[in-house]
Amino acid sequence: MVEHIEAPDTYQARKVIKRLYESQNFKIQEEVKLDTVTNNMEEEIWPPYQADMLLTKEFIIELDPQTPDKGKSKGHGTKRRRNKDQWRDKNIKKQLDIPTVRLIPSDILQQTDKQILDEIEWQLNRANLQE
C-alpha cells in the first residue's frame, strides 16, 4: 500500500479548517472512504473515492413546553421526568456523542431565526464544554 504524503500547505490548510469548524460544533473526520459512491454507470469505483475531510453537525432537538402556572412543573412534566430527561441526554452524549438541545415551543414561535440559531449554538457549546 502506498502511503499518501501531503504537501505542507495542505497539512496546514487542514489544521485551519479543523480549527474553524470544531469551534462551530462540527465533527470532522479525515480521509474518509465513501464505499457506496459509484461511477455514472452505477459501477463500483476501485479504489473507493476518499474524501479529504467529512464534516457533519449532528444533534437532537427536544421541544419542551413550559408553563407559567403556579404549582405546575416546568419542561417535561414532573421533576422526576426532567431528571430522567437529563440522564437520557447525558447517556446519548456519552455513548453516541450526539448532544441534545432543548427548546421551548412558545419561545420558538416568538423568536427570530437568528435568536433560535443563537440559542442552539449556545446549548451546543455548553454541551461540548461539559465533556
Tens digit of pLDDT for each residue in 61-108? 999 876 555 555 455 567 788 788 889 999 998 999 899 999 999 999
Domains of the chain by residue range? 1-57, 59-131
Query: What does the DSSP assignment read for 75-105?
Result: SSSSHHHHHHHHHHHHHHHHHH---EEEE-H
Enter the DSSP assignment of 44. B
Check pLDDT > 70 for residue 43: yes
CA-based radius of gyration for the chain: 21
pTM of the predicted structure, to 2 decimals: 0.69
Mean pLDDT of 110-130: 90
